Structure 1
Amino acid sequence: MIVITTPTGDIGSQVLDTLLRDTNGEELRVIVRDPDRLPASVRERADVVVGSHGDAAVVDRAFTGADAVFWVVPPDPGTASLDAAFSGFTRAAAQTFADHGVGHVVGVSALGRGTPVAERAGLVTASLAMDDLIAETGAAYRALANPSFMDNLLRQVDAIREKGVFTGTVEPDRKAPSAATRDIAAVAAKLLLDRSWTGIGAVPVLGPEDLSANDMARIVSAVLGRPVRYERQRLDELGGTLSGYGLGDAFVHGMVDMMRAKDEGLDAGVPRTPDTATPTTFTRWCEEVLKPAVLA
């Protein structure tokens, strides 16, 4: 049995869709706060455990009889600390992995381990500490080491449509990897289905190319057939914007520290190889995902 957390999330929903197509008869179970958000077809085919996967009683029920777990920590903008948001949220599940002898866990994490800035990278630092916690449980563990998501640009669809601009804090010509969430989900599903792997390790998911923000602006412009530019935002401006949305101080500082670390090379520590590259180019993602959203 495979257990999927965050089955209505950006990545979790795509992992679930893939597993529903390709399980070869393997049982699926999902943990979800609001089962009404699941399509009827999912509720018919998967066992549903209602509640938070940060709750010890919920994960005790969900992981009973589980062979593998897809683990994602949901964002907690109001958290008192990043340790509480990541390792604190995961602690009950980690104990349950050990108690129930869960053999394999695949988790969504981040690039950066081993880089000079990894210890001051905010959300990423906390995510890497969560990986260490899971690694101590005795389960075989693969941390999906992700760069920034192409799909994050969907948060700026209105600005792209109405103003021809998207913003970020990285230096405009700094090239870095990015990945489509559908590729991350595909890597996760493959690991969950083929559990021949053992031990502890990271699986970098780097996309097919490194691009700068200016490169992305040129591609978006070409795909949309209209000029779109990148506008750099200061880190203090980012912090002020997030605080204005009501996000808590710990989360805001964690986001700012992460973005500062990305501009200092956080995502540059892993070389791209056939094993770490994923297929969706930014151009293809813009054509198939961003453009329909902008035109909607």
Structure 2
Amino acid sequence: MIVITTPAGQIGRQVLDGVVDRGEPVRVIARDPSRLAEGVRDRVEVVRGSHGDADVLDRAFDGADSVFWLVSADPRATSPEEAYVGFSRPALKAFTRHGVSRVVGVSALGRGVPGNAGHVTATLAMDDAIAATGVAYRALVLPSFMDNALRQVDRIRDEGVFSLPLSGDLKAPTCATRDIAAAAVRLLLDHSWTGTGSVAVLGPEDLSGEDMARIMAEVLGRPVRFERTPLDVLKPTMVARGMSEAMAQSYVDMVAAKDNGLDNAEPRTPESTSPTGFRQWCEEVLKPAVLA
């Protein structure tokens, strides 16, 4: 039995699509089962509720062999540690109580890099807590997602502007969520691995914000320029949108760490080089979204 959390989310739905046809029973934890694709909903067992709820986890992990674990941090949490480690605490007990064999988790780059990196630091603490249960664990360690650019579709289309809170000339890896999902599916379907470790998904190239804006312009056939979002406006903007002071500061700390090279600490290898390049992603995902 494979259990998938966040099955209607950006990554989770692609993981679900990848495992549902593979001949193994699949169970999902969903707050709102109506958000599941109709073609999938009737082919999986659904446990309704939050994967931060111990009772829900007891139902979901009963007889489970493998679990896909993703925490969508509560933007109103009192601290990043509470958002990641605190949310995961019921699962830590349930993994052991139900004899789960393997867990595949969505994590971040930054292991071994000194200093506070906000959300990243809390995510790595969550990884350590999962590994300490004794379950076999693989953390998918990731840079920023190409798909995050979809949040700026209107601005890219209407103003010709793509923005990041990073130096425009900082070259760093990015990855497509479909490649993250593919890595998770491979691990969930492989019942042979043991122990703890990490799997990096780095994309095929390092690009700066300026590079990304240039590629967008070439693919879209219209001007797109890069604009840096000043760090000092990030926190008040996020707080004004309802994020807690602690989570807003944590996000700023993460961005500052990335601007200092956090995502460049992991060397790219043939194994960590995922296939989807940014130009391909723009052609296949961003361009249809901009033209819609």
Query: 2:143 matched to 1:162?
Result: no
Q: Which residue of 1 aligns with 2:138?
A: 142
Q: Distance in 1 between matches of 2:73 and 2:121?
A: 14
Which ranges in structure 1 are unaligned for 5 or more consecutive residues? none
Runs of 4+ in 1 over 6 A off after TM superposition: none
Please tell me the residue identity of whatever aligns with 1:6.
T
Structure 1 residues 39-86: Cα deviation after superposition (integer angstroms, max 9, x where no partner)? 222221100000000000000110000000000002211111111110
Query: 2:1 matched to 1:6?
Result: no
Q: Distance in 1 between matches of 2:201 and 2:34?
A: 32
Q: Which residue of 1 aligns with 2:47?
A: 49
| Deviates further, 239-248 or 124-133 | 239-248
Q: CA deviation at 1:188?
A: 0.2
Report SS of the residue matched to 1:105. Answer: strand
Please tell me the residue identity of whatever aligns with 1:31.
I
Please tell me the residue identity of whatever aligns with 1:56.
A
Q: Which residue of 2 aligns with 1:188?
A: 184
Counterparts in 2 of 1:207-218, with a 5 A limit? 207-218=203-214
Structure 1 residues 213-245: Cα deviation after superposition (integer angstroms, max 9, x where no partner)? 011011000000011011011111111221221
Q: Distance in 2 between matches of 1:242 and 1:166?
A: 18
Q: Which residue of 2 aligns with 1:274?
A: 270
Query: 2:58 matched to 1:76?
Result: no
TM-score by length of 2: 0.98
Query: 2:285 matched to 1:259?
Result: no
Query: 2:172 matched to 1:172?
Result: no
Q: Which residue of 2 aligns with 1:108?
A: 106
Q: CA deviation at 1:116?
A: 2.6
Counterparts in 2 of 1:110-125, with a 5 A limit? 110-117=108-115, 120-125=116-121
Q: Distance in 1 between matches of 2:282 and 2:29?
A: 31
Please tell me the residue identity of whatever aligns with 1:53.
H
Please tell me the residue identity of whatever aligns with 2:61.
F
Q: CA deviation at 1:103?
A: 0.4
Structure 1 residues 233-264: Cα deviation after superposition (integer angstroms, max 9, x where no partner)? 11111112212212111211111100000001
Q: Distance in 2 between matches of 1:271 and 1:116?
A: 17
Q: Which residue of 1 aligns with 2:125?
A: 129
Q: CA deviation at 1:195?
A: 2.2
Please tell me the residue identity of whatever aligns with 1:241.
T
Cα RMSD, aligned residues only: 0.8
Please tell me the residue identity of whatever aligns with 1:209.
E
Q: Distance in 2 between matches of 1:215 and 1:126?
A: 30
Please tell me the residue identity of whatever aligns with 1:89.
F
Q: CA deviation at 1:286?
A: 0.2
Q: Which residue of 2 aligns with 1:31?
A: 29
Please tell me the residue identity of whatever aligns with 1:86.
Y
Q: Which residue of 2 aligns with 1:66?
A: 64
Q: Distance in 2 between matches of 1:217 and 1:42?
A: 36
Q: Distance in 1 between matches of 2:41 and 2:213?
A: 40
Q: Distance in 2 between matches of 1:244 and 1:168?
A: 19
Please tell me the residue identity of whatever aligns with 2:58.
D
Please tell me the residue identity of whatever aligns with 2:177.
T
Q: Distance in 2 between matches of 1:146 and 1:164?
A: 28
Q: Which residue of 2 aligns with 1:238?
A: 234
Counterparts in 2 of 1:86-105, with a 5 A limit? 86-105=84-103
Report SS of the residue matched to 2:129. Answer: helix
Please tell me the residue identity of whatever aligns with 1:218.
R
Which ranges in structure 2 are unaligned for 5 or more consecutive residues? none
Aligned residues: 292
Structure 1 residues 149-193: Cα deviation after superposition (integer angstroms, max 9, x where no partner)? 000000001110110001111111110000000000000000000
Identity %: 63
Report SS of the residue matched to 1:203. Answer: strand
Report SS of the residue matched to 1:45. Answer: coil
